[in-house]
Amino acid sequence: MLNALSISLGVGDPVGRLRALRSFESQGFVAADTFIWKEGVLDTWADPAQSASENCSIRLPTGYACCVGPLWYRGRFGGEALDLLINEISEAGQMDEMELRGNFVLFLHTDRYCALMNDALGLVRLYASADKLFYSTSWLATCAYTGNVEIDEAAACEYVLLGASHSDRTVARGITTLPLGHAVDLAQKKTCPRLAANVWSGGGVPQSFDEAADEAEAMLHTVFTEIAAAFPGRLRAALSGGFDSRLILAALLACGTRPDLFVYGGQGSEDIPIARLVAGNAGISLRVIDKNVLNGCLALPDIERLVHSALFFDGLPNDGIYDRGADQQTRKEQTAGGCLALNGGGGEIFRNFFHLRDRRFYAIDVVRTFYRGFDPGVFRRPEGLPFYEDRLVSSIERSIGMENSTAHQRFGRQQVELIYPLFRCHHWMSVNNSIALRHGYYATPLVDLNTVRLAHRLPMAWKNAGRFESSLIARLHPGISNQSSTYGFRFADGPDLRARLREKATCMRPVFARPFINAARRRLRRAGVAPYLLKYCRSLLPGEWQLDPVLDLRRLPDDYAFARALAVEIAWRELVA
């Protein structure tokens, strides 16, 4: 399969392109297909471990198409989907976005059309150089094309504190990501919107709970039937005690497909006994993976190992690069043999993700509710926290189409519900999805245009405490809904009184108080960066770090945040500067 691509437009920097090609090679890829047309050159790349999987590219008399990642169109997968897309665009000049599914980056070229795009929710990242003459699925390759990039401090703070930069800017100044719902018109050398202006406003509140559940069940049945047909006997999925992995398993079983199952955890994990019960009910064996045990057999990462991790993870992964090797090993195992790894990310569209009351809110309310889980003293400059909040507010408003308002406005509850898929998932999930696709087939099938269009219109009373998602699991497969969950109830029964009261109590917490509640929790848990990790990494990389002037790294909320600061430091010392 194709695991990465880049496009250099004709008047771009040929020396920069050569640097990018060398970057792909240093990341461990091997060259695959190349396509040249009058405006530019497309280079595609593959992970050698995926060499047995067919590359998703086609050449027809009417055009050329290729994609990185799994793609379905009108129920067809891979090359068949590309064939249909080329023919439709050649004849009609357009495609039906609502029929396009998967997590991918797609290149299409015909006599009438030449475009580069990702999936409509932007759950796979597509990077652009500052001169807009180079595009790639790889942030490191885009940095290499540019050469000597500088740090965007604001984006870097978001990455370290939140796991991803939460705007179209990246940690490298001038390098951006494709805006949500847009495509690059390569002939005109500009980005253009793909989705209808009313894509989120169409349709009212469902008439009844059962009507909405029927519609969602039908959607999921269609999606997972297509997945099962495209990867017969080659599906793998994690299983935990939560909602989303159970929903994926229920949908697969409803389609007559039994995936390979695994669960992450060690001694004391509440997920493992539940996963064993669920897998046993379905008659599927379960593999238990303890990353701590795997890492315990490996040495502490030295500089060489950290650089290798940065190359594997394309520089800046959600959890940073402090990996002895277990994370890389398990990722490769998930997709070995051309298997599709399924992840439940985004399933929270069916629940009250932000745990907010059923009312109108400002964007700053969402920021203070969910994006303030750290000590504000981590910012070294007095303006650090206000600037951070203002950037997130602007990005949230832009993500749901409110950027042109003259003043900050309260959002209706349906708009608030769109913030999760269009802002949180678009920026945070896209990082992990993009990394996964570098090494095999990977998909987050619970969230797409169709499911989001339905889910954001659901009344909050249906979503609270997981009532709606519980019903979906029970409808799709009653057997596995009868097993317990980490939420203290069986999905077959739906949320019990305790779960409903707990949800209500959480939602009733005033927005202004949430940062103080988070601060109290941090003190009680004594959260922070492990002293040994600080000492060890500082000894490996002595001197002032890139982010020392803006962040007090000792006051970061956890080891993952510090591992992200470490990723930035390794990138600038060893790879991109």
Strands 441-443 and 340-342 come out as parallel
Structure tokens of 215? 């519609």
Specify the amino acid at residue 289. I
Residue ranges with strand state E in 221-311: 235-238, 260-264, 286-289
Look up the pTM and report it: 0.96
Specify the amino acid at residue 453. R
Domain shared by 37 and 146, yes or no: yes
Q: How confident is the model at residue 400 (pLDDT cuts 50, 70, 90)?
A: very high
The CATH code of the domain that includes 304 is 3.40.50.620
Is residue 355 one of the residues assigned to a domain? no
Domain shared by 55 and 119, yes or no: yes
Query: Final residue of a domain: which of 163, 193, 223?
Result: 193
Burial 489-505 (b: 16+ CB within 10 A, else e): bbbbebbeeebbebbee
Residue ranges with strand state E in 375-463: 441-443
pLDDT score at 93: 84
Is residue 231 one of the residues assigned to a domain? yes
Domain shared by 31 and 101, yes or no: yes
Is residue 44 one of the residues assigned to a domain? yes
Domain shared by 46 and 158, yes or no: yes
In this predicted structure, the answer to whether residue 406 has a pLDDT above a threshold of 60 is no
pLDDT score at 446: 98
Domain shared by 60 and 120, yes or no: yes
Burial 57-71 (b: 16+ CB within 10 A, else e): bbeeeebbbbbbbbb
Q: Quote the distance between the C-alpha of residue 182 and its chain's center.
A: 17
Is residue 146 one of the residues assigned to a domain? yes
The CATH code of the domain that includes 176 is 3.60.20.10
In this predicted structure, the answer to whether residue 568 has a pLDDT above a threshold of 90 is yes
Helix 363-370 to helix 514-525 angle (10° resolution) is 10
Is residue 199 one of the residues assigned to a domain? no
pLDDT score at 531: 96
Is residue 356 one of the residues assigned to a domain? no
How far is Cα 505 from Cα 530, in angstroms, rounded to an integer? 32
Q: Is 23 helix (H, G, I), strand (E, B) or coil?
A: helix
Domain shared by 45 and 170, yes or no: yes
Is residue 78 one of the residues assigned to a domain? yes
Domain shared by 58 and 103, yes or no: yes
Share of the chain above pLDDT 70, in %: 99
Strands 114-118 and 127-128 come out as unpaired
pLDDT score at 564: 98
How far is Cα 218 from Cα 214, in angstroms, rounded to an integer? 6
Q: How confident is the model at residue 405 (pLDDT cuts 50, 70, 90)?
A: low
Is residue 232 one of the residues assigned to a domain? yes
Share of the chain above pLDDT 90, in %: 90
Q: Find the domain containing 26 and state its range.
A: 4-193
In this predicted structure, the answer to whether residue 188 has a pLDDT above a threshold of 80 is yes
In this predicted structure, the answer to whether residue 407 has a pLDDT above a threshold of 70 is no
Cβ(146)–Cβ(130) below 8 Å: yes
Q: How confident is the model at residue 10 (pLDDT cuts 50, 70, 90)?
A: confident
Total domains in the fold of the chain:
3
Domain shared by 479 and 550, yes or no: no
Query: Final residue of a domain: which of 496, 524, 547?
Result: 496
Closest residue by Cα to residue 128 from 66, 189, 39? 189
Domain shared by 323 and 459, yes or no: yes
pLDDT score at 197: 82
Cβ(38)–Cβ(10) below 8 Å: yes
Q: How confident is the model at residue 203 (pLDDT cuts 50, 70, 90)?
A: confident
Report the mean per-residue pLDDT for the chain: 95
Closest residue by Cα to residue 350 from 534, 207, 473, 511? 473
What would the pLDDT profile of 113-172 be if each residue is shown by its tens digit? 999 999 999 999 999 999 999 999 999 999 999 999 999 999 999 999 999 999 999 999
In this predicted structure, the answer to whether residue 332 has a pLDDT above a threshold of 70 is yes
pLDDT score at 457: 95
pLDDT score at 52: 76
In this predicted structure, the answer to whether residue 267 has a pLDDT above a threshold of 90 is no
Domain shared by 88 and 228, yes or no: no
How far is Cα 2 from Cα 65, in angstroms, rounded to an integer? 12
- Reduced 3-state DSSP string for 29-59: CEEEEEEEECCEEEEEEECHHHCCCCCCEEE
In this predicted structure, the answer to whether residue 351 has a pLDDT above a threshold of 80 is yes
What would the pLDDT profile of 73-117 be if each residue is shown by its tens digit? 999 999 999 999 999 999 988 899 999 999 999 999 999 899 999
DSSP lists the bridge partners of residue 37 as 40
- Average confidence (pLDDT) over 229-251: 97
In this predicted structure, the answer to whether residue 404 has a pLDDT above a threshold of 70 is no
- Average confidence (pLDDT) over 471-478: 97
Domain shared by 403 and 538, yes or no: yes
Q: How confident is the model at residue 202 (pLDDT cuts 50, 70, 90)?
A: confident
Domain shared by 558 and 440, yes or no: no
